[in-house]
Amino acid sequence: MKKFKKLKITGIILAILVLFLVIINIIPPKTNVENNPFIVGDNKLPLIAAHRGGGKNNPENTMLAFREAVKTIGIDIIESDLYLTKDGYLVYNHDAYIDETCNVNGDISLEEVKNICEDETKRHYIKDMTLEELEKYNFGYYFEDEDGNRIYKDETELEKTGLQIATVDKLFEEFHESNPELLFIVEIKNDGDAGYKACKILSETLDKYPNYKDRLVVGTFHDEIETELKTNYPHLLRGAPTGTAAKFILTQFLGVNIFDRSDFACLQIPTSYDLGITLRLNKKTIINRAHRRNIAVQYWTINDADEMRELIELGCDCIMTDDPILLKRVLEEYK
């Protein structure tokens, strides 16, 4: 008899727990943002985000790459990272230093440059250089075409060809009239005071290009810069920092997403995380639960056609790629 009572009590507790989980998954969660231009909608193809401007197709993070991506390839989103120069300009570059993308070390091979850069003290950091100094260098110097030819190695008319380092102001100016529908994903790489200043400059620059104020999402890996964005620039859409993204994904896996209190606009994730075991993130459930909160799901960095097809069929909102030409070709299959 006692055994039966224990089983009955256990059954009641499990039933209550199941009912609780069902209820919290039925209740519509609060949306993170009301208007999210990065959501494509049901049964729509994902947006093409040119990672670094499409670094496989053209010299990464240059105006040449951005122009080709927008005007020739027809991408939807420009994605890149922002660094603050010594004299207070925001420029696009993937790394904190410029050695591996331009001829700052003179006429030597990329392999030699990488050997030099193993010593961090010998790197040329953006924070230590003015914009005028940076603009002297050819940022297409090491770019190779499909045949392995360095086709821009000897280019000297850098401003005309778009092979100078690009500023955030120059990029907005380039497209704000001709492509007002263009979207942007940016990451502020600086931390501390430089990161605070970068936030301020980005916001002030957007004031000059109002078309883009609601068409840019900004992210950071630094907690203090995330707090700065939330506190002083709440009008800017934000991507989820790593910790916040991990928390959101965990609540989805556990089915308790109603308890997530995040307020980001875009969930930018790889297809998997290696945590000793491989955690797969290319799941329809993650996308569906994010969409309930009006969060866009954006996968990076996808350069394989089959992986692109898988994400398209899952219904993600955006695919970030170094090869937007390939992604464009794959998307044509679905049209």
Catalytic machinery residues:
51, 94
What's the distance, Cα to Cα, between the start and end of the chain in Å? Answer: 66
Q: Per the structure block, which two tokens stand in for 189?
A: 């790489």
d(CA 78, CA 171): 10
Please give the backbone phi and psi of residue 242, each rounded to the nearest 5 degrees, phi first. -55, -50
Contact predicate 84/127, CB 8 Å: yes
Q: Per the structure block, which two tokens stand in for 273?
A: 């995380």
d(CA 282, CA 299): 8
Q: Per the structure block, which two tokens stand in for 116?
A: 């030099």
Please give the backbone phi and psi of residue 80, each rounded to the nearest 5 degrees, phi first. -170, 180
Contact predicate 35/314, CB 8 Å: no
Report DSSP state, residue 128: G
Token pair 């997530």 in the structure block, residue = 260
Q: Per the structure block, which two tokens stand in for 27?
A: 């209740």
Alpha helices for the chain (secondary structure H): 2-26, 63-67, 110-117, 131-134, 158-161, 168-175, 192-208, 223-232, 242-254, 284-292, 305-314, 324-334
Contact predicate 117/142, CB 8 Å: no
| 77-84/272-274 β-pairing | unpaired
Identity at 103, one-letter amino acid code? N
Q: Per the structure block, which two tokens stand in for 141?
A: 């110097």
b/e map 238-262, b = 16+ CB within 10 Å: bbbbeebbebbbebbeeeebbebeb
